[in-house]
Amino acid sequence: MSNRSIYASAALMAAAALFAVGCSFTTTKSSSDSVDSDLSGRASQTWRSPDVSDAWKHLADDMARRGLNERKLEQFFKSSSLVYTSGPMETKLRELYGIFYRSELTKEIQEKLYQLGYDITIDGRAGSGTRGVVTRFQADNGLTQTGDISDATLASINKVMKTAKTRSLSSYSPPSAKKPSRTATYPQFTKAGVLPTILAHYRADRELFNAMSRKYNVPGEVAAAIMWVETGYGNYFGKHLAASQLASMAAAAYDFDVVAPAVSDLVRSDGGAKTWLKDTAVKRGGWAADELAALLSYSFQNGHDPTSFPGSIYGAIGYGQFMPSNVLKYGVDGSGDGKVDMFNKADAIYSIGNYLKAHGWTGGGMSEEARRAVIMKYNKSGVYVNTVLYVADWLAANK
């Protein structure tokens, strides 16, 4: 597997669950605090919506009302690099629709897939596990592999069941509750052949890590482990442009029509779904608008082109994959050049240290539970926490 696919797949494992509780892959909570803006362009009565794509008009007005520099806003929304895509909002709506809106349909699909012999948990929640089983069913029967929880999927299952040998639903036993594993890790980061590579990168920048550690009392090995798990130490910053992703999600909060065609099949299958989808788009789009405002504020303050940042599907950026609101809160100029740049190695290392200290890292002598609690605030995945601490401890023992 290439580095690009390794880090992308690791990110996807956690992104959906984190976003559902207001998170990105990087942080536990996105900020909706007011944004410190470039005061040379405080919102004024002279603001007029720029001649931009219809998808951006309401969003541009919102950003101006937040007090962001009007001249820079107009440049941003007119940039050819800012491209609307339904992808992030469509992905989120489909995920939440399956999990929360059509639980009865999901449960029926799960029950029938179990009867067809598939190993599946019957809980009415259309998470990645259920979608994976649906995809296997589709592959086994020569169907297009979408993983969708839909009436069309149920119809396909019913058709197969007419001639297939099935088992009784009464034989199903719910899986016993298990404590989260303290040993499971993402193997692409903990296998023997990769750890020496991580160590080589850590050693090359040891002075930076040591300086950060002296300032924040956070082990450099922990910051290095986070940087490796998040982006392969900068080998993979994400395949999307963060500004386009966030702006596209935010646009749907003001005008559902921009994303409606992408989820029209959900509306056709259930007429009552449109209201739920619109309400959900407003909530998720509002979060994205807050993050976009933070991204723009950060960019304007530090002289960056906001359209240039590569990022995750939901807008996390830099070595540590910070959401923009957390860049404003915890971003640090570690290089001393007068700017905060999350794609600058020194700035990223210091920012991670600052974040961990602010969230409870107190230095040496911390218990295992205390260490886990802090990393859990960076990312709520237990496997993520296991991986970061495994790599950090290995670096500390071999440095």
Residue 333 CB neighbours (<10 A):
16
Each domain of the chain, given as residue ranges in start order, spans 4-22+47-84+241-306, 93-171, 187-237+318-398
The domain at 187-237+318-398 falls in which architecture? Answer: Orthogonal Bundle (1.10)
**Start-end of H helices in the chain:** 3-20, 57-65, 70-78, 87-96, 103-115, 128-140, 151-161, 187-190, 195-204, 206-216, 220-231, 242-254, 264-269, 273-302, 324-330, 345-358, 368-378, 382-398
pLDDT digits (tens, 9 = 90+) for 263-307: 998 887 666 788 999 999 999 999 999 999 999 999 999 999 999
Structure confidence by residue, pLDDT tens digits, 62-98: 999 999 999 999 999 999 999 999 999 999 998 888 7
Distance in angstroms (rounded) separating the CA atoms of residues 54 and 63: 15
Task: Give the model confidence (pLDDT) of 105-163 as tens digits.
Answer: 999 999 999 999 999 999 998 888 999 999 999 999 999 999 988 889 999 999 999 99
Backbone angles phi, psi at 25, to 5 degrees: -65, -25
CATH class given for the domain over 93-171: mainly alpha
